[in-house]
Amino acid sequence: MERRYILNAIDAALQAGEKILSIYNDPASDFQIEKKADNSPLTIADREAHNIICEYLNDTPHPILSEEGRHLPYSERHNWETLWIVDPLDGTKEFIKRNGEFTVNIALVHNSVPVMGIIYLPVLRELYFAEESLGAYKLSDIIERGELSLDELIASSIRLPETRISDKYVIVASRSHLSSETESYIKEKKDLYADVELISSGSSIKICLVAEGKADVYPRFAPTMEWDTAAGHAIARAAGKEIYQAGKNEPLVYNKEDLLNPWFVVENKHS
């Protein structure tokens, strides 16, 4: 993939993040919350971030599948060999709660496989970025890229995964969507490992924690959509991890007719 695409996506994520943060930090903002067809919340920040990201990605030749955009029928989408999959504001519930655990997710998918991913955490100013031939990286304290080249960004970043020195088996789980099936999975791990630690978090941060090496596994036995996972999946893959369909040795795939993901587990790649 052309390097300019990843810089384009990084700039899009950072600018969208700044817009989201300006709304988030405005004490007078009511977020203009609406309910979508599936009863999930939508805010002015979701819409503004979507518009900014599309402005950047429209400079590339690839179509965009965004949570907040128009979803074309599969009869048109199935011909898309390469596409962007975007969640302009992942973790809208966390945004509304003002707990900071929300992200901007941008992925480039080729032949159903996420090959490039950008995740930005506006409140923490943390940027995760990856491309399958370059690896996965984390850059802290970033607001804008400025004139930095991709090589300079990589030189300033930490390569993932980081080495973790701990005997604990760390499970990361959803803060807002902890299902009974996930609780059963966690209990099984507690029976298997002597020292299990559970971390709760929102949005795609959970995938990043496994890619980073701070967690061993992230089970998700509750509904998610392709835009919730595509960027994190690219980062996980580039860090030597994988997102497997629950109970199978098969990864999640993208641009399906049904954009709903099956249940999944994020963990080390199986041998």
Q: Are residues 49 and 176 in the same domain?
A: no
Write the CATH number for 156: 3.30.540.10
Q: Are residues 194 and 104 in the same domain?
A: no
Domain boundary among 102, 127, 160: 160
* Confidence at residue 271, expressed as pLDDT on a 0 to 100 scale: 65
Q: Are residues 187 and 138 in the same domain?
A: no
Tell me which H or E stretch contains 108. strand 103-110
Q: Are residues 25 and 153 in the same domain?
A: yes
Q: Are residues 221 and 143 in the same domain?
A: no
**pLDDT tier at 1 (50, 70, 90 boundaries)?**
low
Q: Are residues 39 and 147 in the same domain?
A: yes
Residue 23 and residue 44 in contact, taking contact as beta carbons nearer than 8 Å: yes
Q: Per mean pLDDT, which range of 45-59, 175-189, 255-269 is the poorest?
A: 175-189
Most confident of 35-49, 54-68, 177-191: 54-68
- How confident is the model over 11-23, as a mean pLDDT? 97
Q: Are residues 243 and 147 in the same domain?
A: no
DSSP secondary structure of 84-97: EEEEEEE-HHHHHH
Give the number of domains in the chain.
2
Domain boundary among 98, 125, 160: 160
Q: Are residues 194 and 221 in the same domain?
A: yes
Among residues 116, 153, 110, the alpha carbon closest in space to that of 132 is found at 116
CB count in 10 Å sphere of residue 1: 15
Q: Per mean pLDDT, which range of 129-133, 178-182, 230-234 is the poorest?
A: 178-182
Structural domain that includes position 174: 169-268
Q: Are residues 7 and 136 in the same domain?
A: yes
Q: Residues near 88 by Cβ (< 8 Å), separated by ≥ 6?
A: 16, 46, 47, 49, 50, 52, 53, 66, 67, 68, 104, 105
Q: Are residues 232 and 151 in the same domain?
A: no
**pLDDT tier at 39 (50, 70, 90 boundaries)?**
confident
* Confidence at residue 49, expressed as pLDDT on a 0 to 100 scale: 97
Average pLDDT, the chain: 94
Domain boundary among 134, 160, 186: 160
CB count in 10 Å sphere of residue 2: 8
Among residues 108, 96, 103, the alpha carbon closest in space to that of 132 is found at 108
Write the CATH number for 203: 3.40.190.80
Q: Tell me the C-alpha distance between 252 and 96, whole Å.
A: 29
Q: Are residues 76 and 180 in the same domain?
A: no
Share of the chain above pLDDT 90, in %: 83
Q: What are phi and psi of 107, to 5 degrees?
A: -130, 150
Query: What is the Cα Rg of the chain in Å?
Result: 18
More confident position, 147 or 38? 147
pLDDT for 4 beyond 90 = no
Beta bridge partners of 129: 118, 137
pLDDT for 11 beyond 70 = yes
Q: Are residues 73 and 122 in the same domain?
A: yes
pLDDT for 56 beyond 80 = yes
